[in-house]
Amino acid sequence: MLPRKDSYEEICEAFEWQIPEHFNIGTDICDKWADIEPDREALVFVREDEPTDTYSFGQLKALSNRLANYLTSNGVEQGDRIGILLPQAPQTLTGHIAAHKMGAISIPLFALFGEEALHYRLENSGARVLITNDDGARKLEQLRDKLPDLQLIINIDGGSFGCVSFDEAISEQSENFEPVNTKADHPALIIYTSGTTGQPKGALHAHRTLLGHLPGVELPHNMFPQEGDRFWTPADWAWIGGLLDVLFPSLHHGIPVVACRFKKFTGEAAFKLLAEQKIRNAFIPPTALKLMRQVEEPQTRWDYRLRSIGSGGETLGAELLDWGRKTFGLTINEFYGQTECNLCVATNADMMGSRGGYMGKAVPGFQVDIVDDTGIPVSNGTLGNIGIKKPVPDMFLEYWKNPEATAKKYCGDYLMTGDQGIKEDDGWIRFVGRDDDVITSAGYRIGPGEIEDFLLKHDAVAMAGVIGKPDKVRTEIVKAYVVLKEAVEPSVQLAEELAQFVKTGLAAHEYPREVEFVDALPMTTTGKVIRRELREQAKRELGDT
């Protein structure tokens, strides 16, 4: 845990990493508490129109031990890969715990992946086991012959589609299991991340990654944990944001996690859940916040009382921060990281204050610098590459079966994030954009995030995605793809109004010379606008494929 001090500077000075030689995620987030307080609440599973189930640490230990015994009896060994293709659910967590206690490597897989995405990840990882549901099993029917390493598919919905029933598989198994005494550096997880080019890469993480994440959870959640804390996120547990920003760190501290399977995420449903489940801490990605922002007067309709909200993925900007203060009575703290090395920058407004457009300072234990293309730090106030100095415990081991990509990820003493930013003299870091997101127009280098945030201030705008569209004169022009609020009709006049709104309210050189109204923006599951797809669309408009 971070030392309890009065200032960010005092915490940084007092903090030092303490990573034991042996460490196991499964025993840490489950058995550690089950052996002390078996009845302690661990997981609350909320489903629409169905009863809510609660699981204690003791129950999770028994379930994961039964699953580990079943997998062991089927020849699964330390180092084998176990895919988990499920939404937020008790079996999702149980699968990870069992895999880690066995010394196996779990692979979180997004439930909405199609057949092609699943085939690549399962084949590339050489997964031997897959834990899924009817939806996933149905997709795998067409793939099984193409995946010779995949020997066992366990279905939490039963034995359909030629799978083994999860409940039947573990029903006769012992609740006793001796976990593997893994070292902190032993592999534990493969999380696939999509880059700007080529196939997805599997970021291989060690068991120590959980310990490496803790400071970056504790700081932005106002010195988490505190008595009465209770955590929830709409982010899927298949991604590092849901798994290691919320689920594992909460259970490490013995704090219960609320899992919810919304049929469809809406702002109203989110506020209702916050109130009914008495949630105190939440990681809410920017897109979810923007949807919640469209709900009128939520504080008069629901009795929610949050202690901390964190958000990451894109800089929130002043507009969303102001809305957060009005709506929740607190400042939404931002944090930054990526799959390969997560939660390395954060804010804690209570301790550090808050700056719109800035994502925070380096988390205690991390050194984050702005470096040039050779990995040499540049002077403060200069635009450059955001680099994370190695080593730190949550930094990945390697890209699975891809040594070339692993080598390219590093430059000198730094892991290169592929993002650009500016660091001020006092350590605050401003995210400017991905290397390929930065717009070059008439000699200006323009970050799209600031324009997107400003457009949200207009009463007609629900969401916006901004990119650079190729232009023969200016190299690129700023183009905005805008989703309007309900009941607002698109028009040429409104497009001109939005352009002028940015030109006069933000900067004359940053206004969108083109505004296109769209029904939806391409988004990642963690709430980021996929600007690459918008750029490709803009090129098609020019007839340049």
Q: Is the pLDDT of residue 545 over 50?
A: no
> Is 116 within a domain?
yes
**Residues 421 and 314 sit within 8 Å (Cβ to Cβ):** no
| C-alpha distances in Å from residue 480, one per residue of 228, 420, 443, 463, 488 | 43, 21, 19, 10, 17
> Is 233 within a domain?
no
Within 13 Å and on the Cβ side, how many CA atoms surround 400? 28
Closest of 112, 186, 107, 100 to residue 147, by C-alpha: 107
Average pLDDT over residues 182-198: 84
User: pLDDT tens digits, residue range 201-210?
Assistant: 999 999 999 9
> Is 425 within a domain?
no
> Is 360 within a domain?
no
Contacts of 526 (CB under 8 A, 6+ apart): 235, 239, 241, 285, 313
Q: How many CB atoms lie within 10 A of CB 178?
A: 8
Total structural domains in the chain? 2
Average pLDDT over residues 116-138: 95
Is pLDDT larger for residue 117 or for residue 79? Answer: 79
- pLDDT for the residue 195: 53
E strand or H helix that includes residue 448: helix 448-455
Average pLDDT over residues 441-447: 76
Task: Determine the structural domain holding residue 451 and report its residue range.
Answer: 436-541
Percent of the chain with pLDDT over 90: 81
> Is 306 within a domain?
no
> Is 31 within a domain?
yes
Closest of 503, 505, 504 to residue 477, by C-alpha: 503
End-of-domain residue from the set 152, 182, 212: 182
H helices present in 180-239, as ranges: 209-218
- pLDDT for the residue 1: 85
> Is 468 within a domain?
yes
- Could you tell me the strand order of the sheet in which 105-109 lies? 164-165, 152-155, 129-132, 81-85, 105-109, 187-193, 201-206, 398-399
User: pLDDT tens digits, residue range 468-522?
Assistant: 999 887 889 999 999 999 999 999 999 999 999 999 887 778 899 999 999 999 9
pLDDT tier, 342 (very low <50, low <70, confident <90, very high otherwise): very high
Average pLDDT over residues 135-158: 95
User: pLDDT tens digits, residue range 234-270?
Assistant: 999 999 999 999 999 999 999 999 999 888 889 999 9
Q: What angle do CA 537, 539, 545 make, to 5 degrees?
A: 100
- pLDDT for the residue 498: 97
End-of-domain residue from the set 134, 158, 182: 182
- pLDDT for the residue 450: 80
Report d(CA 285, CA 261) in Å as an integer: 16
End-of-domain residue from the set 182, 209, 238: 182
Report d(CA 355, CA 332) in Å as an integer: 11
CATH code at position 31: 3.40.50.980
Encoding tokens for residue 489?
């009709």
Instruction: Read off the amino acid at residue 306.
Output: L
> Is 441 within a domain?
yes
| C-alpha distances in Å from residue 66, one per residue of 154, 212, 479, 534 | 14, 29, 55, 47
Q: Is the pLDDT of residue 328 over 80?
A: yes
CATH code at position 517: 3.30.300.30
